[in-house]
Structure 1
Amino acid sequence: MSDTAIKPRTNVEPRTERPRLHKVILHNDDYTPREFVVTVLMAEFGLTEDQAHKVMITAHRLGCCVVAVFTRDVAETKATRATDAGRAMGFPLLFTTEPEE
């Protein structure tokens, strides 16, 4: 027999990381009508009227509120579309995103 040892083969499976999640945040302002904010939350984020109302009231009382958590691309798209909906109607409605910790 030969002097070389036979090494067993090992299968290395690549591990993929989960994408980092981002929060969509609603910022309060004193000019956008509450009904409009509720409408945008329902249309863009799929919230029920009751959920949207609670998010809007929380943002009103605390200054801002996390609406939902998504992957970065989805969060940025939804925040941009919701902000643009407010701007199209002449309101300073603002949604931003930030990484979840």
Structure 2
Amino acid sequence: MPGTIVLDEPETVDEERLAPLWKVICHDDPITTMEFVVDMLTKIFRQPMPRAMELMLRVHMQGSAVIGLWPESVARKKVNRAHAMARAQLFPLTLSLEKDE
């Protein structure tokens, strides 16, 4: 049709995949305070207060809990920031990473 502009549809690639996500796991210890864990979860991991409280209690009661899923580089940065925050207050907080399957 004269005067009609036809735009090509962008190609979609079925094989395009997102980067795999990594679980950040918080582990219980007898020294790090519950208040510190909640503070760390809200400040570094951006958890809302009710969720931070729930996660802290899960860590305390079960020994560990997955606190979130992020791309590997983001997860590592958050874990490093949390460890630095804990060490600054002399807490032995332990967080680990595990690839989400």
- TM-score (norm. length: structure 2): 0.83
- Supply the distance in 1 between the matched residues of 2:83 and 2:96 (Cα, whole angstroms): 8
Q: How does 1:31-50 map to 2 (within 5 A)?
A: 31-50=31-50
Q: What's the counterpart of residue 83 of structure 1? A: 83
Runs of 4+ aligned residues of structure 1 deviating over 6 Å after TM superposition are none
Q: Which runs of 5 or more residues in structure 1 are unaligned?
A: 1-10
Q: What's the counterpart of residue 97 of structure 1? A: 97
- Supply the distance in 2 between the matched residues of 1:74 and 1:21 (Cα, whole angstroms): 10
Q: What's the counterpart of residue 4 of structure 1? A: none
- Supply the distance in 2 between the matched residues of 1:42 and 1:22 (Cα, whole angstroms): 19
Q: What's the counterpart of residue 53 of structure 1? A: 53
- Supply the distance in 2 between the matched residues of 1:49 and 1:14 (Cα, whole angstroms): 39
User: Larger radius of gyration, structure 1 or 2?
Assistant: 1
Task: Report the Cα offset of residue 49 of structure 1.
Answer: 1.4
Q: Which runs of 5 or more residues in structure 2 are unaligned?
A: 1-10
Q: What's the counterpart of residue 28 of structure 2? A: 28
Tell me how many residue pairs correspond in the alignment: 91
Percent of matched pairs sharing the same residue: 33
- Supply the distance in 2 between the matched residues of 1:18 and 1:51 (Cα, whole angstroms): 26
Q: Kindly provide the CA deviation profile for residues 50-82 of structure 1, in whole angstroms up to 9, marking residues without a partner as x.
A: 111110110111111000000010011111111
